Amino acid sequence: MEKSMVQKVTLPPDRILDAVCNYFEVKRSDIRGPRRHKPISYPRAICMFLLRKYTDLSYPNIGRFMGGKDHSTVMVACRKIERQMKDLDHDTMAHVSRLAIELGMHIVVGQLTDKPNFTILREVPRA
């Protein structure tokens, strides 16, 4: 069987958290804290999504890293962002794309099935 051409690249979790905090202009303590207001919860969900995509952390480990969140909270957040991307929510797509580029990752937004979807086809650091 032929080896996959997709190269898995992992990033340090702190780098992802810092990028999200800088991008959305929120404090680390807020994004890792208990507040549920949209200006905090939305960047938190995007951060959890990026942590899942660009690290080897499990849902429970992401939850611990994000201030002691339950693994099910992380799963819901990741699914929420994935659903928004599949539904072609342009704001979410733009935020995730810009953050991925800022983190030095390539992403591809495309249509691979009969439904539009977001897929990271190749994760390779930019030169």
| Mean pLDDT score of the chain | 84
What confidence score (pLDDT) does residue 116 get? 40
- pLDDT for 23-38, tens place per residue? 999 999 999 999 999 9
Yes or no: say if 12 and 127 are a contact pair by the CB < 8 Å rule: no
Q: Which residues lie across from 105 on neighbouring strands? A: 125
The ranges assigned to domains in the chain are 13-119
The phi and psi torsions of 124 (rounded to 5 degrees) equal -135, 135
Chain-centroid distance of CA 95 in Å reads 10
What is the model's pTM? 0.79
13-119 placed in CATH 3.40.1280.10: no
Instruction: State which amino acid sits at residue 12.
Output: P
- pLDDT for 36-74, tens place per residue? 999 999 999 999 999 999 999 999 999 999 999 999 999
What whole-number distance in Å separates Cα of residue 65 and Cα of residue 63? Answer: 5
What whole-number distance in Å separates Cα of residue 115 and Cα of residue 127? Answer: 32
Q: Which residues lie across from 125 on neighbouring strands? A: 105
What whole-number distance in Å separates Cα of residue 4 and Cα of residue 88? Answer: 28
